[in-house]
Amino acid sequence: QVQLVESGGGVVQPGGSLRLSCAASGFTFSTSGMHWVRQAPGKGLEWVGFIRYDGSTKYYAESVKGRFTISRDNSKNTLYLQMNSLRVEDTSVYYCVKGLLQELFVWGQGMLVTVSS
Amino acid sequence: SYELTQSPSVSVSPGQTASITCSGDDLGHKYVCWYQQKPGQSPLLVIYEDNKRPSGIPERFSGSISGNTATLTISGTQAMDEADFYCQAWDNASLVFGGGTKLTVL
């Protein structure tokens, strides 16, 4: 079955960097679009960004544009989220999600990122 | 930026029909998805492309859209359906979620 397992989360100071990884299995990763979605504690869902199956097209939310970068390694079935210049308000559970451009079909279990001094 | 509006909460008695709405400009010309999130769990897609159910989603979940309002309907609501529900659409190179509706079954 489809599995998405995030890793790389933790505590980081404001202004710091962190890279999340998402290991995919159970489907053909190299032909699947992927999203990152986050959820601050006790809050609603917020889309972070999308990457096309071949990495040729990426979209980002305005709140992370210029600070976050989505990439993928299809040879390793892995999705990445590089987060730079982190802010306290970036504190969230980050979900890796398999989907089409407009639809989020399968979600990972999520990984907590805490930005705090 | 594009916005989707949901009521914060809806209550329903077991066995009754729950309706959760989502409104947004020109929503009738976009595809709408609905996600269910139970406490401590990841969200689950329950409706996509306005009214399609992924495999494994019970038939009591249905979606519809009229004008600028999309509706998620849960027929014969069960206690296990209690959760937060989010609508979602795509607009101008951005994926947008509604603020979420807490469904209480009491």
Arithmetic mean of pLDDT, A102-111: 97
Averaged confidence pLDDT in chain A: 97
Arithmetic mean of pLDDT, B75-93: 97
What is the predicted pLDDT for the residue at B74?
98
User: Within 13 Å and on the Cβ side, how many CA atoms surround A44?
Assistant: 20
Distance CA B47, CA A6 (A): 25
Which chain B residues have a beta carbon less than 8 Å from that of A37? 43
What are the pLDDT digits (tens) for B8-52? 999 999 999 999 999 999 999 999 999 999 999 999 999 999 999
Arithmetic mean of pLDDT, A16-36: 98
What is the predicted pLDDT for the residue at B86?
98
What is the predicted pLDDT for the residue at A70?
98
Distance CA A79, CA A95 (A): 11
Of A35, A44, A108, the CB nearest to B86: A44
Distance CA B48, CA A48 (A): 20
Nearest CA distance, A101 vs chain B (angstrom):
8
What are the pLDDT digits (tens) for A35-47? 999 999 999 999 9
What is the predicted pLDDT for the residue at B44?
98
Nearest CA distance, A16 vs chain B (angstrom):
26
Q: At A59, is the pLDDT very low, low, confident or very high (cuts 50, 70, 90)?
A: very high
What is the predicted pLDDT for the residue at A17?
98
Distance CA A26, CA B66 (A): 37
Q: Is B1 an interface residue toward A (CB < 8 Å)?
A: yes
What are the pLDDT digits (tens) for A68-106? 999 999 999 999 999 999 999 999 999 999 999 999 999
Of B42, B95, B97, the CB nearest to A44: B97
Instruction: Kindly determine whether residue A104 and residue B33, on different chains, have CB atoms separated by under 8 Å.
Output: yes
Distance CA B94, CA B84 (A): 22
What is the predicted pLDDT for the residue at A86?
98
Q: Is B44 an interface residue toward A (CB < 8 Å)?
A: yes
What is the predicted pLDDT for the residue at B2?
96
